[in-house]
Amino acid sequence: MTASTSSPGQPAWLHEEERRLYAFATGSVVPDGFGWLDTRGEVVVDRPTETWITARMTHVFSLAHLRGEAAAKEKADHGVKALKDGPLRDTERGGWFDEVPEGNDAPNSRERSQKSAYPHAFVVLAAATATVAGRPGARDLLTEALRVMEEHFWEESAGAVLESWNADWSRTEDYRGANSNMHCVEAFLAAADATGDHRWTHRALSVAERLVHGVAQEHDWRLPEHFTSDWEALPGYNRDHPDHPFRPFGSTTGHLLEWARLLVHLEIALERAGQTPPAWLRSDAEELFEHAVRRGWAVDGADGFVYTLDWNDVPVVRERMHWVMAEATMAAWALGRHLGADGSIDYAAHYHRWWEFTDRRHVDREHGNWHHELDRDNRPAGTVWSGKPDVYHAYQATLLPQTFLAPSIAGGLLPTTYPQGRNS
């Protein structure tokens, strides 16, 4: 496909990029879900099928169905069926394994498998989006996923979620993580949007209040992401493994931007629930955005957001991740749209600058999708992330500015539900 004559971030460009990403994603189908894709869009055959990838792609294909992609419904249905009836799900004890257990038919193979909050959050998100898209079996999947979240992961005393369990739910990890909790906020908002049950909206607010209005604010808008089971911060966690793809050392710039956007969705969700949102949602979103940009953008002399910073704002892992650019553009658009003239930051300028950088450096027009990682000189790399596992972040980034703001991205595609129409 030739490059669009429209400027990056503009409607025609976004729609074209949305279609390119969808086309790349179609190669991910495997019998038990969706597989990890390499740089050319082929499934990496020696990797097991993973729940988080399968759920994220089910979410994407459900969104694509809502967008009118003719063949997307079959792939969304494949994902729903894989999550309901495939080997990723533990039909005996409930929940989902992190990946298809090795030697699934071997005795006791499932005893060695972990069940983590991070993939469970994406099962909820996938089921919620598929429910909004009207896919068969999706509502039952959502009901079951929320039951598991309620019974095994939600910790009422903390107002947040546990990190992981062993296969039979008898032992939980002595660790709490901000990453899994952040994605639960996204999932809970999507679940409330799909079901009308605002218990999940309130739980999303509880998580955000603990981690953003509490921890991030107390650390001058740097967010420690690793905690003990009593929620004491572990600022030195993974100092010897700083480039961990899920639990890196230090402050993760992209998550601050992602949180800023989620606070906007949360404010809208509370308004939909007939409640007055706390004022801190808006002010905290602005603080997160401003500090992330000032500390993370081009801080080592080259454009791009570094992956992580230490607690003195010195870059630790200087690679640039595609998902950070996706979240940056979404945060800029959402805050600019939501705050309007009340905002103190030129969000539009950031939005256009970052889309131009993404188009120039991340978008891979030869093989499809985006380069998931760039080195410190903005050349394609693969030290933290190999291949191009999925299109979740990039696809959402192209889609959000073409919708209108709602508690969930799927909800923003339904003008019959939100009759004021698009505000793009």
Cβ–Cβ < 8 Å for 306, 317: yes
291 catalytic residue (yes or no) = no
Residue (of 280, 161, 164) closest to 216 by Cα position: 280
What is the C-alpha separation between 268 and 286, in angstroms, rounded?
Answer: 16
Q: Coil, strand, or helix at residue 155? A: strand
- In 179-315, the DSSP E strands lie at 226-227, 251-252, 308-309
Q: And the tokens for 9?
A: 């971030």
One-letter amino acid at 230 equals D
Contact between 119 and 192 (Cβ < 8 Å): no
User: Which residues touch 146 (CB under 8 Å, ≥6 apart)?
Assistant: 124, 191, 195, 200
Q: Which of 65, 198, 226, 255 is catalytic?
A: 255
393 is catalytic: yes
Q: 26 near 71, Cβ under 8 Å?
A: yes
Task: Exactly one of 120, 183, 372, 393 is catalytic; name it.
Answer: 393
Residues 245, 251, 254, 259, CA torsion sign: positive
Pair 312, 255: CB distance under 8 Å: no
Mind telling me the catalytic residues? 255, 393
